[in-house]
Amino acid sequence: MNEAFWNHKKIFIIGAAGFIGSTVARYLLDFPGQFFIAGIDNLNDYYDVSLKQDRISRLQDERFRFIKGDICDAAFLEELFQRFRPDIVIHMAAQAGVRYSLENPQAFLDANVNGFFHVLEMCRRYPVQHLLFASSSSVYGEADHYPSAEDDSTDLPVSFYAATKKSGEVMAHSYAAMYGIPITGMRFFTVYGPWGRPDMAYYRFAEEMKNGEDIPLFNYGDCKRDFTYIDDCVEGIIRLCEKAPELPVPFEIYNIGKGSPNDLMDFVRILHEEMVNAGLVTDDYDLESHIRRVPPQPGDVRETYADTRKLQERFGYQPQTDLRTGLHWFAEWYGKRNR
């Protein structure tokens, strides 16, 4: 982290009670410096609100202020931009969940399209030095080759969630082109780790193991994911923050992923071993007897695999945390929270 860069910056983290947003804030606050972070979140009840509140509780610092509000409320957002005039906006707020987009697509349209539009408008009216926003590996759809690079086609999303993320990228590019706003999009690949989202597969697997329940594996367990540990993801975000895209069109997209996918069954076995090591699952728990291989779900893809060369070449960075280390730290955290 370039501490001189952050000094005297006013930073908005939108989605500050979320998994990645709160971890970015915690990362910044662990460093000295005279900067100010406004953390914005609506604390919706898509999953356990107490987890979101506990994430915010970790951010107690005179340089941090939490503000509850909804980015779909344009007047609320404009009042904040007018009052604080942020230098950097890290936009992590979104309605997540591929399967939930089948149940409640309106929530995705509201947050991921209309809400992001309001953020773009505020960055136009109250010019910022750099806007960064969360996209997703889901925009690649069912790719016809791997790894997926930033210039590969993203025209055929297979979930409405992915479609809203693709829409955000297109809208952001138009604002960068029309108004010269420096904007960076980040395509995250299956981020996992402590303080994660309970709706994510790895978190549900941990719950099911702890409770002795069956563990459903979609697509009969035949899939791969580019699992990216949260600290590696945040390190990538911080590096991207420190170098805004330049004219003529100040817009860039980067993959943030490990760059080496793992089989889902390998992931589950390692998680099981780490849950046993953490004392959360007994030695006599028979993992294989609890596995249920079930058909694929609408919107799922068979594999995600990040081409990370662009991030490496421009920033000298690639996530490095191996799966066992990442799952060890997740299991340790999960145990402390759920004993």
Angle at alpha carbon of residue 31, lines to 318 and 65, rounded to 5°? 110
Q: How far apart are CA 163 and CA 171, in angstroms?
A: 12
Q: How far apart are CA 81 and CA 89, in angstroms?
A: 10
Name which of 208, 203, 207 is nearest 190 in CA terms: 203
Q: How far apart are CA 119 and CA 122, in angstroms?
A: 5
Backbone angles phi, psi at 215, to 5 degrees: -115, 105
- For residue 242, which amino acid is it? E
Is 161 a known active-site residue?
Answer: yes
Burial of residue 211 (number of CB atoms within 10 Å: 0-12, 13-18, 19+)? exposed
Q: How far apart are CA 227 and CA 321, in angstroms?
A: 10
Q: Note the residue count of the chain.
A: 339
Strand partners, 144: none
Backbone angles phi, psi at 107, to 5 degrees: -60, -35
Instruction: Write b or e for each residue in 12-45: b if 16 or more Cβ atoms lie within 10 A of its Cβ, otherwise e.
Output: bbbbbbbbbbbbbbbbbbeeeeebbbbbbbbeee
Name which of 184, 159, 226, 164 is nearest 311 in CA terms: 184
Backbone angles phi, psi at 38, to 5 degrees: -100, 115
Name which of 268, 196, 274, 251 is nearest 228 in CA terms: 196
Residue with tokens 């280390």: 325
Q: Which residue out of 161, 175, 254, 334 is catalytically annotated?
A: 161
3-state secondary structure 233-264: HHHHHHHHHCCCCCCCCCEEEEEECCCCCEEH
- Which are the catalytic amino acids? 161
